[in-house]
Amino acid sequence: MSVRRALVATALAPLLGLALAGCQEAEPSPKMPSTSAATPTPTETATAEQETPEEFIRRWQAASDKMQVSGETAEYSNMSPQCKPCQDFVETVRSVYRAGGHAEFDGSTITKLVRVEDEVPTFELTKTVPETVVYDAKGETRTFPPGKATISITLAKRQGEWVVAHFGFV
């Protein structure tokens, strides 16, 4: 593991409780929704056709950043409903905020997004994370330096929209 990746993992672990081992579990096969005879509404069709997988991933990362600094988990959770590491992340953020803790940072910057698999849409996202300040429920402050991380993201379609099926550190 690189020093930078270790710093990022260390910086995020106190807030997120996200252990690298939990993120590196075997990737499940995404379950594709069954087809139905119903015709999608024009809004559903336009949304699914207009948003590329890359645009969705950028929106998902923005929702992750927003969730970490606000404690509001619904948007991120809805974008990754069957992704176990994602839902574990949601529960950790919820528990941190319920206990009175929070984090401050200016959000991640995606520096690279590459499609690595076509059949099952899989991408590698590299991002930089600025200095992060974590406040726990006791009012103690921990400051973590900036870092860089690369994650693998597998997508699936659910009711005509992209969702994250799995993510993990590369």
pLDDT 10s digits, 131-157? 999 888 888 898 989 999 999 999 999
Span 99-104, mean pLDDT? 91
Q: pLDDT of 116-131, one tens digit each?
A: 999 999 999 999 999 9
| DSSP per position, the chain | --HHHHHHHHHHHHHH---HHHHTSPPPPPPPPPP-SPPPPHHHHHHHHH--HHHHHHHHHHHHHHHHHH---HHHHHHSTT-HHHHHHHHHHHHHHHTT-EEE----EEEEEEEEETTTTEEEEEEEE--EEEE-TTS-EEEE--EEEEEEEEEEEETTEEEEEEEEE-
Q: pLDDT of 38-78, one tens digit each?
A: 334 444 444 546 899 999 999 999 999 999 999 999 999 99
Residue 65 to residue 42: CA distance in whole angstroms: 31
**The token pair that represents 44 in the structure block:** 């559903």
Q: What is the pTM of this model?
A: 0.73
Please report where in the chains the tokens 């139905």 appear, as a residue: 36
Domain 3-19+44-169 has CATH 3.40.50.2300: no
Residue 103 to residue 120: CA distance in whole angstroms: 34
Please report where in the chains the tokens 């990737």 appear, as a residue: 27
